[in-house]
Chain A
Amino acid sequence: MPSLSKENPGQSGAIRIQVALIGCNHRTAPVELRERISFTPQQALQAADELRELGILEEAVVLSTCNRSELYGVPGDAHPTPAQAMEEYFGSFHRIPSKELEGRVYRWAGPDAVRHLFRVAAGIDSMMLGEAEILGQLRTAYTQALDHGATGPVLNRVFQGALEVGKRVRSETEVGTRPMSVALAGVKLAERVFGNLKGHSALILGAGNVAEQVIECLRNRGIGSLRVVNRSFDRAAELAKKVGGEAVAWESLESVLGLPDILVTSVSSSGPVLTRELLERAIAARSGRPVFVVDLAVPRNVAPEAAGLYNLYLYNIDDLGEIVEQNKKARELEIPRAEAIISEHIAKFEAWRAALEAGSIVDDLRGQFHRQREMLIREKLAEMEDVSPDERARIAHITEELIERVLEHPSKKVRHGRGMRGRLAGLEALRHLFGLDEDKE
């Protein structure tokens, strides 16, 4: 594990940029501990403030989700052992003894910390590989820290890179495309038949937890209308009210069976609730338009022989489970492609960091001034034929001295200014104002 070390910039004048991270996630800590170390949005900002006030970090972002709590930062000049201090602060903030955190907290520094963040953004460090929610959570955590003034040039660069990585991995690989839950797999399969679900309707048989999950997925995918049928009408009405649908009495099931394009069943029953004949009549009532049936119940609610009906697509819990399993494997196969995107962005960040760190900006600037000076002298002296070689040498000497004098002040400011954040901001400004990146390109 890399250590968090840094040179003293006050002595050498060089800046050493280091991104540091400590945290716990679903792999290192059980849910009981994760509950205790999570941060509310207010607490995240408070922690970022305190870490900076204590001089542990110059820039800080706290990322806290149900599966992870992580502190990202750029260690300041004052603290000799920032990782230790971050971990101590982490424990003290949540009033958890350090012994309890032992072996649960991971620490990363430098490119490893950046890689970890990029993997988090890509969803390949998530409990459910490729899940999309983490990218939104990361964006929110970063935006709040940015608005609060807790970030600086380094974390801005790293987090913006992470958001780009997350976006690219999801658009250029299959890591996040295939459904990973039975409910979502059912809904996505329905989209393979109907396309956009906006103008379509669904009927949900049952009002249990599974039904709620499916309804949530259908709502997220923009389903047009929803009907809920349950043996207990009160429960159906309650669920329908909650999701903005319509409750239908169990006795009226047959009369509404011809209406929906998507039929999801999850009721407890010892035998099939929907027989082949019933579904045949329902399809006839809807003029043969296709119907997609998802049977999530065990024992099955739909008679297996109904699968042979024309324009009826039937999937049971095992079919969907198998699809989810296939998708999981397919997503895992995409990890190398996601890692390649991550490595590409790490290399970009490292190039930016190295350019700032080596103190090369002042040298770059000096080089640019000298090139312009030489061009100008050559151009002007060519027009002045009566200038002697001695005078030419003096002009050259004076202009060289002028450049050194002009650069003296910014050079000092950049090397010995207060705080790494201020110096980095100055370096970034120099690079931008004098177009040094463009020169290199």
Chain B
Amino acid sequence: MAQQLGYLSLALYLASFLCYARILYAPNIWVGRLATLLLACGIVAQYFSLYERSRVIQSVPYDDLYGSMSLFAWLLGITYIGLEIFHRQRSVGAFVTLLLVAWVTGLGFIAAGAPTVRPPARGPLFAFHVTLNTWAYAAFALSFVLSLIYLVQDRVLRSRRLSAAFWRFPPLDVLDRMARSSVYVGLVALACGVTMGFVWEHRLRGTYSFGDPKVIVTLAIVVVYAAYLLLSRNATWRGARAALLCAMNFVIVMFSYTFVNLYLTKFHRFF
């Protein structure tokens, strides 16, 4: 059942991407609304897919690669749809849904065959800790996409070679605000997630493992994104430099999500 719902969500994301791409080519308010609706339906379908998985393993699916990647994609979709509604801007939807389609398809190839791992019972606090941290990563991924679009738009404006799509993309100011909103969401989720992790660990062991590489890299992520938020208001940095910084910060997130998880940490080793 979870697999069928996974396929359904992929189909809905794909249909949503096609509608978003269509409004980039020829804007139409109804096609735009349909794109949002399809994305929302995809998110709902993926929720039930994750729910089915959670029901079987009696936990949030974070301990296996498929579950973790699927949770990431779902939270990315939720964060984007929230930003789209808040900023009333659909023109980046094509890029985000393309990323979702690629991600969900990719995880189908990479990890669909992997067995569902039942994590040891760690309680709801730990589940929130993992979910909130994954949400933070998803929000940072979104800010990365928005910053890249900002940099491309900025370059096009400076080169004065304007393509057809140029007139359809959001203004630099909107991209900047959307990227910052996304980073705010990510930082709040990360702060809450990390705090819950510490509380959970303290309850369990009575200590805090500040020396764990995952904790160190996560704190570095908080610092670099907080720096981005500060510098994006600064005279020397605001604009393209801040967007570049935001895009570069995501390299650390990817490092934390992959290399640190797989090779460096002891407590945070998944899959």
- Measured in the bound complex, the distance between the Cα atoms of B238 and A177 in whole Å is 30
Please name all residues of chain B whose beta carbon is closer than 8 Å to the beta carbon of A388 when the two chains form the complex. Answer: none
Residues 27-57 of chain B: 1 if any A CB is under 8 Å from the residue's CB, otherwise 0? 1110000000000000000000000000000
Chain A residues whose C-beta falls within 8 Å of the C-beta of B239 in the assembled complex: 288, 290, 310-311
Partner of B234, one of A191, A194, A288, A313: A288
Contacts of B169 in A (CB 8 A): 192
Within 276-335 of A, Cβ neighbours of B (below 8 Å) are at 284, 287-290, 307, 310-311, 313, 315, 319, 322-323, 326, 330
Output the least CB separation between A325 and chain B (Å): 12
* In the complex with contacts A172-B26, A287-B235, A288-B234, A195-B167 CB distance below 8 A: no
Assess whether A43 is interfacial by the CB under 8 Å rule: no
Which chain B residues lie closer than 8 Å to A188 at the CB level?
A: 167
- Counting CB contacts under 8 A, is B160 at the interface? yes
**A171 interface contact, C-beta 8 A:** yes
CB pair B235 A284 closer than 8 Å = yes
Are B160 and A315 within 8 A (Cβ)? yes
Which of B121-172 touch A at CB < 8 Å? 153, 157-158, 160, 162, 164, 166-167, 169-172
Chain B CB within 10 Å — which of A174, A307, A319 has the most? Answer: A174
Closest A residue to B160 by CB, please name it: A319
Smallest Cβ distance from B44 to chain A, in angstroms?
29
The answer to whether the Cβ of B207 comes within 8 Å of any Cβ in the partner chain is no
By a CB distance below 8 angstroms, the chain B residues around A290 are 172, 238-239
Partner of B238, one of A189, A191, A195, A288: A288
A156 within 8 A of B: no
Per the bound structure, the CA–CA distance linking A355 and B239 in Å amounts to: 61
> Contacts A288-B235, A289-B238; is A194 near B171 (CB within 8 Å)?
yes
Q: How far in angstroms is the closest Cβ of chain B from A427?
A: 33
Number of A-B residue pairs at CB separation under 8 A: 64
Quick check: is A256 within 8 A (CB to CB) of the other chain?
no
Quick check: B164 and A192 within 8 Å, CB to CB?
no
Q: What residues on B are CB-neighbors of A323 within 8 Å?
A: 160, 162
- Flag if A330 contacts B164 (CB, 8 Å): yes
Give the chain A neighbours of B172 by CB distance below 8 A: 192-194, 290
Docked-complex contact B157 and A194, CB < 8 angstroms: no
By a CB distance below 8 angstroms, the chain B residues around A231 are none
Q: A284-B235, A326-B162 are in contact. Are A193 and B171 (CB under 8 A)?
A: yes
> Which B residue's beta carbon lies closest to that of A315?
B160
* A178 on the B face (CB < 8 A): yes
Residues on the B chain within 8 Å of A307, using CB: 158
Chain A residue nearest to B30 in the complex (CB): A171
Counting from the closest, the 7 A-B pairs by CB-CB distance are A288-B235, A195-B171, A287-B235, A195-B173, A311-B239, A319-B160, A195-B174
Chain B residues packing against A (C-beta within 8 Å) = 26-29, 153, 157-158, 160, 162, 164, 166-167, 169-174, 234-241
18 contacts between A and B (CB under 8 A): A171-B27, A174-B26, A174-B164, A177-B27, A178-B167, A189-B157, A191-B171, A192-B157, A192-B169, A192-B172, A194-B171, A287-B235, A288-B234, A288-B239, A310-B236, A313-B158, A323-B160, A323-B162
